[in-house]
């Protein structure tokens, strides 16, 4: 199979609770790998609608509990390790990121079928330190964009 040459268009969400922690989710396919909700744009979908859809699909959080705080002015990109390039994911993602304030239950359980097995409220610093090296520049920029 020929390696993919494209970067998938996507969105991501930083969701902060009233205590200043952010919602991180553990991947189903990689135990111990935590990240923010994110995903690809569907054809013709606007980024804001896509991020709301991704948040719901991955965390079950409804839009009425979320309030948009900011949108990062830059498109942020990461390149996956070559060994995991695929026709679906391409070489990585170019993403539009949003930050939301969350008011609601503190226990967040990913819905059945989510790509995540767990969600937890954590300090931003902790998540930034734990993400894979290829994602770290994106998270560093999120810190700057959203003053975290």
Parse the chain into domains and list their residue ranges: 7-146
**With the CA atoms of 134, 29, 1 and 86 taken in that order, what torsion angle do they form, in degrees rounded to the nearest 10?**
-50
Architecture of domain 7-146: Alpha-Beta Complex (3.90)
Residues 69 and 102: their CA atoms lie apart, in Å, by 10
Give the model's pLDDT for residue 1: 46
Structure-model confidence comparison of residues 17 and 86, the more confident one: 17
Whether residue 58 contacts residue 114, with contact meaning beta carbons closer than 8 Å, is answered with yes
Residue 3: predicted pLDDT: 53
Residue range 46-58, pLDDT digits in tens: 999 999 999 999 9
| pLDDT single digits (tens) 121-135 | 999 999 999 888 999
Tell me the pLDDT tens digit for each residue of 136-146.
999 999 999 99
Is 8 within 8 Å of 89 (Cβ atoms)? yes
d(CA 130, CA 137): 12
Mean pLDDT score of the chain, rounded to an integer?
A: 91
Rounded distance between C-alpha atoms, residue 70 and residue 87, angstroms: 32
């Amino acid at each position: 199979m020929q390696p993919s040459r494209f970067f998938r268009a996507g969105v991501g969400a930083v969701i902060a609770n009233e205590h200043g922690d952010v919602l991180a989710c553990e991947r189903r396919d990689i135990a111990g790998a935590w990240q923010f909700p994110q995903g690809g744009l569907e054809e013709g979908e606007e980024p804001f609608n896509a991020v709301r859809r991704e948040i719901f699909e991955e965390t079950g959080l409804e839009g009425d509990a979320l309030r948009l705080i900011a949108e990062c002015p830059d498109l942020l990109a990461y390149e996956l390790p070559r060994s995991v390039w695929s026709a679906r994911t391409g070489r990585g993602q170019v993403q539009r990121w949003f930050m939301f304030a969350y008011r609601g239950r503190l226990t967040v359980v990913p819905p059945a079928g989510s790509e995540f097995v767990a969600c937890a409220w954590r300090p931003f610093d902790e998540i930034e330190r734990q993400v894979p090296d290829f994602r770290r520049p994106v998270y560093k920029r999120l810190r700057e964009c959203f003053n975290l």
